[in-house]
């Protein structure tokens, strides 16, 4: 069985907006052992939507519509599905009463527009919407002699997500052939995709029944495993077997095998060792602290620090002597070292981390004259001493800044191993 997802809405045919529901729906369908073979994005035109519905019914066993169930003239999914399926729409009195009560509870009179939200495809099972006025609909029927499962779901993420998970999925579990999926994710930082693949491909190729996906991006490599088996146990065992073999190969290069982000792992490790951290950031200007403080509970292990963007603040907040900044330039090994040590002492943290570099758009100027774009120093100080790592990063300002924070986190993680 294969599925097609149809996302209806003209805004997704502009240069500004994308369908995102399909990612979540794909995950849910995969859980049930169903791959998504096609996705179609179509606007509010009833003609185009009917065409998309006919095409999907001709090539997929399961067709899921997202969007187009609202009350406006632009909401045509019910009508298009009815036309493509050759079914009638009848107005459901109970649903209508529910809609009227919904408006009454808000002390409003239901506009005539909303009447059509009570239209139901003949034979459809209704899926209640706890977060909006559009009910979902599910059909399991014959179409041109073939079995077709059709789902009409609302577009807003806060409506479609609970409706799919809580209403539709239990029905699909019942009517689809049983399938059990196990997933696992291994995460690594700062290693080139090709280097990872060269080491892990010989391993995962021995597991043809486990689907392995390598994703590279944001200074991170993710290895996703998925395996479907007749029982959940078998599926999990197989994924675990592959994962263990790869963990054995990649060892400490893997920062997480249970989903955590790199900043979460660093905070967990600080917590386990009863350590605290402070940061002095120059070129990253708060990005590193922003990543760490994005994690709930981080305040126990990350104390804060300083954004020493202006040179004078390197002295004001981390006691870096002015003549070192002047002499070696703010982007230098010495300044990185002194910043890490200074912020540690000032804040009383167990560890101090610093980032100073040239993020662009151009190469260094003033005291940093002649230093190339992408030159970054990371300092890490604790009671035992200080280390400084020199990086030559490539790309634009945004990339250099993000990679610098990733290197800083990875340096802390490896130091804490």
Cβ neighbours for 205, distance < 8 A, ≥ 6 positions apart: none
Q: Can you tell me the distance from the alpha carbon of 274 to that of 299, in angstroms, rounded to the nearest whole number?
A: 13
- In the set 83, 110, 118, 289, which binds its own copies (CB under 8 A)? 289
Nearest approach, Cβ of residue 7 and its own copies (Å): 9
- In the set 101, 122, 165, 213, which binds its own copies (CB under 8 A)? 213
Please report whether residue 393 would count as binding its own copies according to CB under 8 A: no
Strand-pairing partners, residue 220, are 189, 217
Nearest approach, Cβ of residue 263 and its own copies (Å): 11
Residue pair 413/400 in contact by the 8 Å Cβ criterion: no
- In the set 37, 96, 257, 268, which binds its own copies (CB under 8 A)? 37
Q: Can you tell me the distance from the alpha carbon of 149 to that of 34, in angstroms, rounded to the nearest whole number?
A: 12
Q: Can you tell me the distance from the alpha carbon of 151 to that of 128, in angstroms, rounded to the nearest whole number?
A: 13
Q: Specify the residue, 41 or 409, whose C-beta has the smaller distance to its own copies.
A: 41
DSSP-derived letter for residue 70 is S
- In the set 115, 269, 307, 324, which binds its own copies (CB under 8 A)? 307
Piece in contact with its own copies (CB under 8 A), picked from 30-38, 144-152, 187-195, 321-329:
30-38
Q: Can you tell me the distance from the alpha carbon of 217 to that of 395, in angstroms, rounded to the nearest whole number?
A: 13
Please report whether residue 179 would count as binding its own copies according to CB under 8 A: no
Q: Can you tell me the distance from the alpha carbon of 9 to that of 380, in angstroms, rounded to the nearest whole number?
A: 50
Interacting residues with its own copies between 46 and 85 (CB under 8 A)? 48, 51-52, 55, 59
Beta strands in 75-135 (DSSP E): 89-91, 119-121, 125-127
Interacting residues with its own copies between 218 and 237 (CB under 8 A)? 222, 224
| Interface pattern 350-379 for its own copies (x via CB under 8 A) | ----------xx------------------
- In the set 308, 325, 373, 400, which binds its own copies (CB under 8 A)? 308
Q: Specify the residue, 89 or 307, whose C-beta has the smaller distance to its own copies.
A: 307
Q: Can you tell me the distance from the alpha carbon of 409 to that of 262, in angstroms, rounded to the nearest whole number?
A: 7
């Amino acid at each position: 069985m294969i599925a097609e997802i149809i996302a209806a809405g003209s805004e997704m045919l502009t240069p500004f907006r994308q369908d995102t529901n399909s990612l979540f729906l794909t995950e849910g369908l995969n859980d049930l052992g169903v791959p998504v073979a096609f996705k179609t994005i179509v606007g509010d035109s009833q003609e185009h939507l009917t065409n998309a519905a006919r095409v999907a019914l001709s090539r997929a066993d399961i067709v899921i519509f997202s969007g187009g169930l609202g009350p406006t003239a632009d909401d045509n999914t019910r009508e298009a599905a009815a036309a493509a399926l050759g079914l009638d729409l009848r107005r459901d009195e109970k649903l209508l009463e529910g809609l009227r009560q919904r408006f009454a509870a808000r002390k409003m009179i239901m506009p005539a527009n909303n009447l059509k939200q009570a239209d139901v495809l003949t034979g459809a099972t209704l899926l209640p919407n706890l977060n909006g006025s559009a009910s979902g609909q599910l059909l399991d029927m014959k179409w041109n002699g073939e079995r077709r499962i059709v789902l009409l779901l609302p577009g807003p993420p806060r409506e479609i997500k609970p409706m799919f998970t809580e209403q539709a999925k239990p029905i699909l579990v019942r009517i689809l052939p049983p399938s059990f999926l196990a997933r696992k994710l291994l995460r690594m930082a700062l290693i080139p995709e090709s280097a990872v693949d060269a080491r892990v491909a010989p391993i995962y190729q021995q597991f043809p029944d486990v689907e392995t996906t390598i994703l590279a991006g944001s200074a991170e490599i993710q290895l996703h495993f998925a395996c479907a088996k007749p029982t959940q146990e078998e599926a999990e065992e197989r994924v675990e077997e592959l994962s263990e073999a790869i963990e054995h190969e990649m060892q400490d290069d893997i920062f997480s095998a249970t989903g955590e982000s790199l900043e979460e792992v660093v905070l967990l490790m600080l917590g386990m060792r009863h350590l605290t951290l402070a940061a002095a950031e120059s070129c990253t200007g708060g990005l590193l602290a922003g990543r760490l403080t994005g994690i709930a509970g981080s305040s126990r292990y990350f104390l804060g620090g300083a954004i020493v963007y202006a040179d004078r603040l390197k002295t004001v907040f981390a006691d870096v002597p002015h003549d070192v900044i002047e002499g070696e330039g703010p982007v230098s090994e010495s300044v990185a070292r002194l910043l890490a040590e200074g912020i540690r002492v000032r804040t009383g943290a167990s560890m101090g981390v610093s980032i100073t570099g040239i993020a662009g758009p151009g190469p260094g100027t003033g005291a940093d004259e002649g230093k190339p774009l992408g030159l970054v120093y990371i300092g890490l100080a604790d009671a035992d001493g200080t280390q400084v790592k020199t990086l030559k990063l490539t790309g634009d300002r945004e990339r250099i800044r993000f990679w610098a924070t990733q290197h800083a986190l990875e340096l802390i993680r490896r130091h804490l191993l």
